[in-house]
Amino acid sequence: MIDPDERTARRALDGVSDAYLAIDERWRIKWANAAAAELADRPREELVGADAGDVLPDDVTAALRETFGAAATDEPDVPSPIARTPDDARPHDADLEFRIDCAPNGSFDVRATAVDDGVSVFVSDVTDASRLDRELARNATIVEAVHDAVVTLDADGTVTSANQAAEGLFGADRRELIGTGIAELATETRLDADGAATFADAAAAVREGKASERRFSVYFEGADGRRVGDVQLVPLPVDGADGTVGVIRDVTEREEYDRIVTALHDVSRRLFGADDEDEICAIAVEAAANLLDLELSGVWLLDEERNRLDPVAATARTHDEIGGLPHFAENEGLIWDVFRSGDAARYDDLREVDGVYNPGTPIRSELIVPIDDRGVLMAGEFRTDQFDDTDLELAGILASNVEAALDRTDRETLLRRRTEELERQRDRMGTVAAVLSRDIERRLSAAREALGASQGATVDADGRAADAGRSAAENDGVPGRAAAAEELAIAERLVADVREVAGAAGAETSRERVSLADAAADAAERVDGVTVRALDDPSVRVDRRRFVRFLAAFFRFAAGRAEGDVAAHVGRLDDRDGFYVADDAPPIPDDDRADVFDPEYAGSLSHPGLGPAMADEIADANGWELSLVEADADDWGARFEITDVTTLSR
């Protein structure tokens, strides 16, 4: 029978969560509680009497036998668990406690105690706890390995842990950080007072559930200057209470990089305001020294005639330390290698590089950045390893801005030279036109007098021959006089056209608002056989005399293509700022349309003159666009459209 006390004990053991096995002297299981049956996944009845080695994991059995003795066998010399000899060194009350990982069965905490008739064994399945421990250990290793500072705070806002990166950023040993209230970090660490206050407020908001996370920036003051940290705070339950964890990333370098890039954009505005390449290069080296800390730097530009790189600008320190800067002939030094390749280069130690211009130079570190095919930006230092990839990148941005500014000055210089040349050509053209017209006028006057022409037969201010409409009867007294007078009138009109073209791009003339219909009527009066109709009457701000000549050029061109009278009409364009001039003279052949604005084309007609060529010059002088388009009806011959007339109004 089972002793009542033992029965009570077994009832109690059945209530515990750990597996319990009573093992006799022969390593047989005498009794097992319910947890042991569950652990072994066998009915309790099958466990009783079974060999312990068949139930327990092999590693557990081995550890038990090593401590308490081997199982009884038929061999007399093999000891039983508790069988002791007088020479046995083990105490009778031997205990054993250990944790063992029995993959794939799991992890177990084992506690065993020797009793009079065997061994009492408690086995606790700690697989989940062991896994959690390993996960925590792994996470702790990761936290220590990351470059970001990590701190945890409890419900009171006190630091409970900090990694190694936090020590560097806060400037304090983690043992000093742990146990410090977040608000006190301003006096105990490098964190400034505003940052500590912001940190404390954000931690309280996250802890109280007012925010799922908070992000903000704080500043740390140290011997190496001010550093910037971006903080992310999230909830972290600690021992059942609401804590927080903060991850702080040191973004000082990024902030400095962004500041410099922004400053370089400001520099680009100065570069684009410079007048010449000397000023551009001076601004560039100033920026290199003040923004990029390239205090020993300069700019060399290519002299295409000598095929060498010449120094244009350098920092004050460069002049003080180096003195006169060298001119680099083709293939002299590393500078030419970089210039030809177009790829920026960084040299950490010039003494280990082949092809140095001056092997004895005191310069040890060097940056060379090409300015496209214009030149290079070069910087150096007297110590090795003074530049990094960020320096190279920022110097490249500066070089690109310099390149763009140099291209702009080249374009502006070229435009200025072309403008000056055009002005000189215009002046020469005007002078030649004036000389020729005066000379031709003298000769025409002499011819007119020789023919007995009227003293009043001249060309008026609008280029209309005053005697062009004289009847043939007035000249019948002299054979050929009428034809000669007509030719004289045409010649004088050509002289007036040449003067107009020569002066079209000249000085600004007085302008007034002129009716298109009125100007067209005046122009038609100056061309025989032309009638004009205005479909509407917009006005345009223009020099009236020149505008009338502009319209007369189209009407004369129409009369020159026709064998009889010509009808023309003018009007405003519906879809653009402008107007049109159309006529019903014979259409212009397709093969001739490209030549309409050639002065020789109009000159070959029966009514000679510069025609559309002169009109095009006047349009250009007013900023208008003149084009020949398809006529909008079968009974119309030519249609010219004048667009970009910004001063046109109804």
pLDDT band at 567 (very low <50, low <70, confident <90, very high): very high
pLDDT band at 300 (very low <50, low <70, confident <90, very high): very high
Q: Over 80: is that where the pLDDT of 2 sits? A: no
Q: Would you state the pLDDT for residue 75?
A: 41
Token look-up 């402008």 returns 578
The C-alpha atoms of residue 165 and residue 628 are separated, in whole angstroms, by: 77
Q: Over 90: is that where the pLDDT of 643 sits? A: yes
Residue closest to 332 by CA, chosen among 340, 324, 323: 340
Inter-helix orientation angle 252-272/389-451, to 10°:
20
Q: At 441, which amino acid appears?
A: E
- pLDDT (mean) for 600-625: 77
- pLDDT (mean) for 412-438: 71
Q: Which of 31-35, 87-91, 228-232, 475-479 has the lowest mean pLDDT?
A: 87-91
Reported as type and span, the H/E element at residue 152 is strand 149-153
The C-alpha atoms of residue 516 and residue 645 are separated, in whole angstroms, by: 12
- pLDDT (mean) for 464-472: 45
The more confident residue out of 111 and 430 is 111
The C-alpha atoms of residue 442 and residue 451 are separated, in whole angstroms, by: 14
Q: Over 60: is that where the pLDDT of 303 sits? A: yes
Whether the bond between 104 and the residue before it is cis, its omega within 30 degrees of 0, is yes
Q: Which of 213-227, 341-355, 544-558 has the lowest mean pLDDT?
A: 213-227
Q: Are 338 and 367 in contact (CB under 8 A)?
A: no
- pLDDT (mean) for 514-534: 93
The C-alpha atoms of residue 596 and residue 585 are separated, in whole angstroms, by: 14
Q: Which of 49-53, 132-136, 255-259, 488-492 has the lowest mean pLDDT?
A: 132-136
Q: Would you state the pLDDT for residue 480?
A: 58
Residue-wise pLDDT for 154-191, tens only, equals 888 888 888 888 888 888 888 888 888 888 888 888 88
The C-alpha atoms of residue 510 and residue 587 are separated, in whole angstroms, by: 36
Q: Over 70: is that where the pLDDT of 17 sits? A: yes
Residue ranges of E strands in 351-477:
365-371, 375-381
Q: Would you state the pLDDT for residue 524?
A: 93
Rounded to the nearest integer, the mean pLDDT of the chain is 80
DSSP3 helix / strand / coil % (the chain, rounded to 5): 45, 25, 35
Half-sphere exposure of 23 (CA within 13 A, CB side): 33
- pLDDT (mean) for 129-146: 57
Reported as type and span, the H/E element at residue 243 is strand 241-250
- pLDDT (mean) for 34-63: 86
- The pTM (predicted TM-score) of the whole model is 0.43
The more confident residue out of 609 and 386 is 386
3-state DSSP assignment of residue 428? helix
Displacement of CA 643 from its chain's centroid (Å) = 39
Half-sphere exposure of 626 (CA within 13 A, CB side): 21
pLDDT band at 642 (very low <50, low <70, confident <90, very high): very high
Query: What angle is formed at CA 521 by the lines to CA 518 and CA 524, rounded to 5 degrees?
Result: 150
